[in-house]
Amino acid sequence: MAALSQIDIARTFREEYGRAVAVLTRSFGDIDAAEEAVQDAFITAIERWPREGPPPSPAGWIITTARNRAIDRLRKDSSRHERHEQAVLLQANDPLDEDESVHDDRLRLIFTCCHPSLATSAQVALTLRLLGGLTTAEIAKAFLVPEVTLAQRLVRAKGKIRDAGIPYRIPEASELPARLIPVLAVLYLIFNEGYAATSGSDLVRGELCAEAIRLTRVLSSELPDEMEVQGLLALMLLSDARRPARVTADGQMILLRDQDRSKWDPVATAEGLRLVQRCVQYNRPGPYQIQAAINATHAIAASTAETNWAQIVTLYDQLLAIQPSPIVALNRAVAVAEVDGPQTALQLIDPLVVDLDRFYLFHAIRADLLRQLGRNEEAAASYSKAMERCENDAERDFLKRRLTELTSRAV
Amino acid sequence: MKHYLLSIYQPDGPPPPPEFLEPIMRDVNEVIREMKAAGALVFGGGLYPASTATVLTFKDGKMLTTDGPYIEGKEHLGGFDIIQAPDLDAALEWGRKLARAITLPIEVRPFQHNA
């Protein structure tokens, strides 16, 4: 058996982190205690797994070991509040792998992490940390904030959950629609983190996408008439369907226009299109439904040339009207380039530099428009800027290839 | 059970006319009655204007007594209720009822020790 490296073990822990923290938070009534226990279990795993091999059910092993470590720790540490100890001891023999209860625990944890008394930035950070198992560094990169800031944000948010008594429960039906808005925003961010991971060598971290889709599906089945939930699920499915066509066998990124559309997952596409159709029938549009409709327009087109770009521009106009943001304006400009040409698009995106200078995609898109206009020197400068700001290996390689093509042509 | 402070923030200046205030106070008293009936209210009440406040500062071994309020601003604490509730959601629900009745912002803040 190949020796298990610490990286392999860390990956398994990340995959199981949300499940473990959710279950243990219910047991302990305390998120910090749950996280600490999972960390203790990680140390035990590093000692044992390379020697004994990974356990058949890592999730169950992590939860059981974390619980046992927590009990050991509480026995030694008399300063701890007694009720925690009792809670741990009382629940130590709970069945661990009952899917229903675990799934409820994750929903509870999501609504706790996305409680409206927490700032949005804290909600997103907590959910990615506690349910997504992302590191503080990864979350900081996803939000373009310093790691120290993000770490403080997490500490303060967990402190508020504990001190203010934010409950660990699924909201009642009457409060659900309002409580859902931040949850959807957070799930979409998790999906995007999986779809184009901000750092590391995998362009796509499928398990994060799958996790976001899974959690959104749960919400979608419980709230079939909340069309934004359906819209978000459709948006995720239609994007995820393109996953097999987004990278080459050796991990290089392929743009939408160059993708082999026969590789798009027909099952996910069909489900996404059905959901978009339902949204259109309900006629209560929202940001996720509009973005799903944009993706549906791509999904039904046989090629870039046959795509209804005018409709996509119209949909972006609707999206900008209800949710103005420089990122939406940037994406709209890409669609405008297909309708009115790169010169018009360039004029639209140049003013966005104020907000998007740190965002690599802004420079990558700008570079591509300049390249189409034959302004190769400026394009090369923009590709370099994009590369400096891009932390994903596959995307950086793509930019590098584009840059090399440009400079070799110039010579 | 936890204790929460519901603070009522009120703009400075002369109080609104009675015909404006009376229906509001009726609604507020109704919420307070409800809090009492539910066993949620620990203590509470309205305060005289911030201009009636006195500030004590102990510094460098000396006690200074000055005219208040401590923080200058356009709004001050106009009153408060201390309630007990099982969790923040329950406390926020009382806070919402009070905010709806009083038509002023309510800040909900937990006490450090459990009830």
Residues 69-108 of A with CB under 8 A from B: none
Helix (H, G, I), strand (E, B) or coil at B85: strand
Q: Which helix (H) or strand (E) holds B114?
A: strand B106-114
How far apart are the CA of B44 and the nearest CA of chain A, in angstroms? 20
Q: What does the alpha-carbon distance between residue A44 and residue A63 come to, in Å, rounded to a whole number?
A: 12
| Closest residue by Cα to residue A198 from A150, A156, A152 | A150
Cβ–Cβ < 8 Å for A355, A323 = no
How far apart are the CA of A228 and the nearest CA of chain B, in angstroms? 25
Peptide bond into A326 cis (omega under 30): no
**A-to-B residue pairs, Cβ atoms closer than 8 angstroms:** 23
Cα-Cα end-to-end distance for chain B: 5
Q: Which contacts (CB < 8 Å, 24+ apart) does range B34-39 have?
A: B34/B97, B35/B81, B35/B83, B35/B94, B39/B84
Residue A169 with chain B: CB contacts under 8 Å: 89
Handedness of CA A13, A15, A21, A27 (dihedral sign): negative
Using the Cβ of A43 and the Cβ atoms of chain B, whether some distance falls under 8 Å is answered with no
How far apart are the CA of A113 and the nearest CA of chain B, in angstroms? 14
Q: Which residue of B has its CA nearest to A179?
A: B89
**pLDDT tens string B66-89:** 998 999 889 999 999 999 999 999
Return the pLDDT at A97.
47
Cβ distance A163 to B87 less than 8 Å, yes or no, reads no
Q: What does the alpha-carbon distance between residue A234 and residue A296 come to, in Å, rounded to a whole number?
A: 9
Residue A167 with chain B: CB contacts under 8 Å: 86-89
Q: Which of A6-15, A191-200, A269-278, A397-406 has the highest mean pLDDT?
A: A269-278
- For residue A174, count CB atoms less than 10 angstroms from its CB and return exposed for 0-12, middle for 13-18, buried for 19 or more: exposed
Does residue A203 surpass a pLDDT of 60?
no
- Mean pLDDT for the stretch of residues A297-311: 94
Cβ distance A165 to B112 less than 8 Å, yes or no, reads no
Q: What does the alpha-carbon distance between residue B81 and residue A376 come to, in Å, rounded to a whole number?
A: 68
Residue B86 with chain A: CB contacts under 8 Å: 165, 167
Cβ distance A163 to B112 less than 8 Å, yes or no, reads yes
How far apart are the CA of A71 and the nearest CA of chain B, in angstroms? 24
A286: left (phi over 0), alpha (psi -120 to 50) or beta: beta
- Mean pLDDT for the stretch of residues A143-164: 91
Return the pLDDT at A39.
93
A91-105, A234-248, A367-381: the lowest-pLDDT one? A91-105
pLDDT band for A207, please (50, 70, 90 cuts): low
B43: left (phi over 0), alpha (psi -120 to 50) or beta: beta
Cα-Cα end-to-end distance for chain A: 52
Does residue A232 surpass a pLDDT of 90?
yes
Across the interface, which of B85, B88, B112 has its CB nearest the CB of A166?
B88
Does residue A93 surpass a pLDDT of 80?
no
Alpha helices in A196-341 (DSSP H): 206-222, 227-241, 243-246, 266-282, 287-299, 309-322, 326-340
Amino acid at A218: V
Distances (CA, A) of A223 to A170, A174, A177, A187, A217: 13, 12, 9, 15, 10
| Average pLDDT across chain A, whole number | 86
Alpha helices in A131-175 (DSSP H): 136-142, 147-164
Cβ distance A164 to B89 less than 8 Å, yes or no, reads no
Does residue A162 surpass a pLDDT of 60?
yes
Q: Which residue has the tokens 């904030």?
A: A145
Return the pLDDT at A16.
87
DSSP lists the bridge partners of residue B66 as: B55
**pLDDT tens string A360-375:** 999 999 999 999 999 9
- Mean pLDDT for the stretch of residues A32-61: 92
Question: Model ipTM?
Answer: 0.87
**Per-position DSSP letters for A27-64, written without gaps between them:** HHS-HHHHHHHHHHHHHHHHHHHHHH---S-HHHHHHH
Does residue A409 surpass a pLDDT of 70?
no
Amino acid at A387: M
Q: What does the alpha-carbon distance between residue B40 and residue B94 come to, in Å, rounded to a whole number?
A: 9
Cβ distance B91 to A165 less than 8 Å, yes or no, reads yes
Q: What does the alpha-carbon distance between residue A263 and residue A274 come to, in Å, rounded to a whole number?
A: 19
Helix (H, G, I), strand (E, B) or coil at B38: coil
Does residue A205 surpass a pLDDT of 70?
no
Return the pLDDT at A238.
97
**For the stretch A363-398, what's the b/e string if a residue is b when 16 or more beta carbons lie within 10 angstroms of its beta carbon?**
bbbbbbbbbeeebbeebbbbbebbbebbebbbbbbb
- Mean pLDDT for the stretch of residues A347-363: 93
How far apart are the CA of B3 and the nearest CA of chain A, in angstroms? 9
What angle, 0 to 180 degrees and rounded to 10, lies between the N-to-C axes of helices A176-195 and A206-222? 160
Cα A161 to the center of its chain, rounded Å: 23
